[in-house]
Amino acid sequence: MNLIVDIGNTRTKYAVYDDGDWVVCGMGVPEAYELASAYLHRGQEVNMILSSTGAISEEVREHLKSVSTFFCEMSPEMDLPIRLGYDTPKTLGVDRIAGCVGGVVLFPGKELLIIDSGTAITYDFVSADGEFRGGNISPGLGIRFRALNEFTVSLPLVKCDVNHGYIGKNTHDAILNGVMNGTLFEIRGYIDEIYRDNPDAVVIITGGGSEYLKKTLNRSVFFEDKLVNLGLNRVLEYQKRLIGSEKLRIDFRI
């Protein structure tokens, strides 16, 4: 089985794939460790990929390695199933790369716009021949609400609410409408721009904020909440094949 462990900004998620099919998911490093241990005790292989948007302690890394038969760590410097046309690949978030790989798995041969609405909103573009062309990063909903409160003297902290209007009649509603509609208009603008340039392009939306967009976006897009996991699973399979091919070459030379 393939085990994906994704350490994000606020939580750690894991997912299990078997022969390319999603099996189960959950949260927490201890839970992922226990699951991997159970598979090993049943005599099954545990192929693991570890991904993080921040630093990973050596203790956590070694802890997870100890319950895997094949282990790799997601990095923009590793061999990938897509090409990175980015000036500073070392600074490119691995979650963004994984989302783009997942998009190529779902829609090979298509120009893609991947929108991940989370703590930040990322807009990533992939060419039809599988090259990451670059992208943009924008504040997510939570950051926008907090910024208005923290960087002003009198504006209150307002919480995200899908039940908002268009024109505010009070300060609370003015902030709510401004942030929610501003985010929506921004995303619509990116979508309209790519369709203007290429009507056959595909837009995929993922991330925690996608539930709000499902109700309000009113654009032809695909929603896939497992997109990053799908991409990480593809990278894991790619690494397994690379290592297997290298081993065959070494064995042949011997």
CA 28 to chain centre: 17
The whole-chain average pLDDT of the chain stands at 91
- Residue 216 is assigned to a structural domain of this protein: yes
The CATH number assigned to the domain holding 43 equals 3.30.420
CA–CA dist 134, 132 (Å, integer): 6
Confidence at 252, pLDDT banded by 50, 70, 90:
very low
* 84 residue type, one letter: L
What does the pLDDT average to over 232-247?
Answer: 83
CATH code for the domain in which residue 150 is found: 3.30.420.40
Q: What is the pLDDT of residues 163-201, one digit of tens each?
A: 899 999 999 999 999 999 999 999 999 999 999 999 999
Query: Do 249 and 214 have their domain in common?
Result: no
**Would 100 be classed as within a structural domain?**
no
Q: Above 70 in pLDDT, residue 250? A: no
Same structural domain for residues 120 and 197?
yes
Binding site membership for substrate: which residues?
86, 93-96, 171
| Residues 217, 241 within the same domain | no
Same domain for 111 and 67: no
Residue 162 pLDDT level (bands cut at 50, 70, 90): confident
Q: How far apart, in Å, do the first and last CA atoms of the chain sit? A: 30
In this model, does residue 118 exceed pLDDT 70?
yes
Same domain, 72 and 152: no
Are 195 and 235 found together in one domain?
no
- Rounded to whole angstroms, the Cα distance separating 143 from 118 reads 10
99 within a domain of the structure (yes/no): no
pLDDT of residue 218: 82
Number of domains in the chain: 2
Q: Which residues are annotated as a binding site?
A: 6-13, 86, 93-96, 116, 119, 171
Query: In 10 A of CB 10, how many CB atoms?
Result: 8
Which residues form the domain of 238?
Answer: 2-82+230-253
156 neighbors 178 (Cβ within 8 angstroms): no
Positions marked catalytic: 95
